[in-house]
Amino acid sequence: KQEVTQIPAALSVPEGENLVLNCSFTDSAIYNLQWFRQDPGKGLTSLLLIQSSQREQTSGRLNASLDKSSGRSTLYIAASQPGDSATYLCAVRRSNFGNEKLTFGTGTRLTIIP
Amino acid sequence: DTGVSQDPRHKITKRGQNVTFRCDPISEHNRLYWYRQTLGQGPEFLTYFQNEAQLEKSRLLSDRFSAERPKGSFSTLEIQRTEQGDSAMYLCASSLYRGSSSTDTQYFGPGTRLTVL
């Protein structure tokens, strides 16, 4: 059974700093990994999706990396802003046929201090 | 707005009552997923449909839960005889599946928060 872990559970950093969020998974047989953002009481917004054959994806100030063999992914946020405060979730998908569900981690609650 | 919508956004009910939630996916999306998220946890998969066919159900989906997607468009999730442990955020997502050679990204709705008293 796939298990996804995110450490730390909560993180506070001053505005402007760069930061890294971590995600680890126990079964390396994944199809892709996705990072989401969730604001309090709201649904999920997809940030980045990395296919199993890829090493990283970038979008603006966000960069996600994937090391499938070691079961790890990181989300790097550059020049953090107060608007980045949210819970960040990573999720893995086992395959593209027959097992399409996403398995989520418990999230990292990020607070950017102005 | 052309995103995934869910109704209601909030539902408070007494233990033992039945509740029904609705999800309207993005119009051309053929896949629809239901997840449940409890406080401080990540979402957990419940079930998904491709068009009107329910293809997978989690063990979390007890006999009191039933989901339908009768015309392959909107979906309903019904919980019978609600229990306090059913209190959670119920999230719906949809995607456009074009076959095993492509990736279908799941787009999430805002969720329905259920509180069982």
Q: For residue B30, what pLDDT is reported?
A: 92
The reply to whether residue A107 touches residue B42, judged by beta carbons under 8 angstroms, is yes
Q: Are strands A10-14 and B31-37 parallel, antiparallel or unpaired?
A: unpaired
Residue B77 neighbours by CB under 8 Å, 6+ apart: B20, B21, B23, B34, B46, B65, B66, B67, B90, B92
Decide if A24 contacts A4 (C-beta within 8 A): yes
For A90-99, B4-13, B55-64, which range has the lowest pLDDT when averaged over its residues? A90-99
Cβ atoms of residues A52 and A28 within 8 Å: no
Q: CB of A76 within 8 Å of any CB in chain B?
A: no
What pLDDT shows up at residue B102? 65
Quick check: B79 pLDDT over 70? yes
Could you tell me which chain A residue has the CA closest to the CA of B45? A101
How many beta carbons lie within 10 A of that of residue A96, not counting itself? 17
**B58 to chain A: which residues are within 8 Å by CB?**
101
Give tens-digit pLDDT for B19-38.
999 999 999 899 999 999 99
The confidence band for B65, taking pLDDT boundaries of 50, 70 and 90, is very high
User: Given an 8 Å threshold on Cβ–Cβ distance, is B103 in contact with A51?
Assistant: yes
Q: What is the pLDDT of residues A54-108, one digit of tens each?
A: 999 999 999 999 999 999 999 999 999 999 999 999 999 987 565 578 899 999 9
pLDDT at B100: 66
